[in-house]
Structure 1
Amino acid sequence: MHIFFTRMDLQAKGIWFPLLIALLLILYVLVMKKRQLTWRQIYMTFGVVCGAAWILDIISAIYFETFVYGSNHGIGIADLLVISTVPSCLAIIYLNYWTVARRWVLPILFTLISLLIEWLAITAGYYRHLHWGMHYSLINFFIIYRWLLPLHKRAIGAHHAHI
């Protein structure tokens, strides 16, 4: 049992911040008015974004040493919880409000929100850049929000949810 709690990495500096953000985003997804997505599409989006986040973050953090979550011992279970929920919930919220009329405003807004969350995680001491910078995050977030998530929305057939 000791190794389980050690791997949780709950003693990592600033861990309270990403766990709080994850909890708030999950709660928001659960209570938000479903405008553009059904629960099935939310489920699909969570799985796709969660899987992509795991693959990309773990490869980036471990193999390319671009950034560090929590402690320096690798990725802990708490880190995996954050990697799973924060990007997935942000994507769900984004797609729930995305329309063609908002195709430029929403990507800019969510890119700024994502950058703010990243900056606050750095400020809290939970997240550190090694071979990465906020300018890379800015480019990646904008591409994801402007092109990849709308493409995903078309792929899951989400036009206007009828709930």
Structure 2
Amino acid sequence: MEFMEYKGEWYVWTLVIVSILFVLIMPKKNLTGVGIFITFVFSAGLTWTFDTISMSIFDLFDLAKKISIELSDALLIGFVPASIATIYVNFYKPQKKWSYVFVFTFLCFVLELGLVQFGYMKNNAWKTWYGIPVYFIIFKFFYPLYLKLISKELVKLTN
């Protein structure tokens, strides 16, 4: 395994490093340290599950090397979406929900578009814009519900 062997891998490493650093240094707004950890692990698990199904069962897209999972694939899938979800839940304000939904939906779309444009992700039966309604549903419905359901000791939400 060589470092930076695949087209666009520099983009993946940049996303991974920036997202991890942001989660580590962000101020704790809605979540405590334990809440951040739980949200991160929960989101990473969901991402692994859905991306594995999308790539291996439905063959919607491929990352870097189709035959195996590379380190950069694992870090991309495990850290970037989980970081974005954790940042969203930590900063989410119900009174500004539409702003958060649109900004994070747009952010995820642009990051995915970057993966395709820089050659790291190859769409098969998937178009990059298909992610927009998926991200919208996740940020509009799923994570606000998650924030309401998570234990009150892990959350510092004020309306």
How far residue 22 of structure 1 moved from its aligned partner, in angstroms, is 1.1
Aligned to 2:25: 31
Aligned to 2:94: 100
In the TM superposition, what are the counterparts of 1:12-161 in structure 2 within 5 Å? 12-157=6-151, 159-160=155-156
How far apart in 2 are the matches of 1:25 and 1:159? 21
How large is the Cα RMSD of the aligned pairs? 1.7
What's the TM-score once normalised by structure 1's chain length?
A: 0.89
Contact 2:109 2:129 in 1 (8 A): no
How far residue 80 of structure 1 moved from its aligned partner, in angstroms, is 1.2
User: Does residue 12 of structure 2 align to residue 11 of structure 1?
Assistant: no
For residue 62 of structure 2, give the secondary structure of its aligned residue in structure 1. Answer: strand
For residue 25 of structure 1, give the secondary structure of its aligned residue in structure 2. Answer: helix
Deviation track 1:19-52 (CA, whole Å, cap 9, x = no partner) reads 1111101101111111111011111111111011
How far apart in 2 are the matches of 1:106 and 1:38? 20
For residue 68 of structure 1, give the secondary structure of its aligned residue in structure 2. Answer: strand
Consecutive unaligned residues in structure 1, runs of 5 or more:
none
How far residue 72 of structure 1 moved from its aligned partner, in angstroms, is 2.2
Length, aligned pairs only:
156
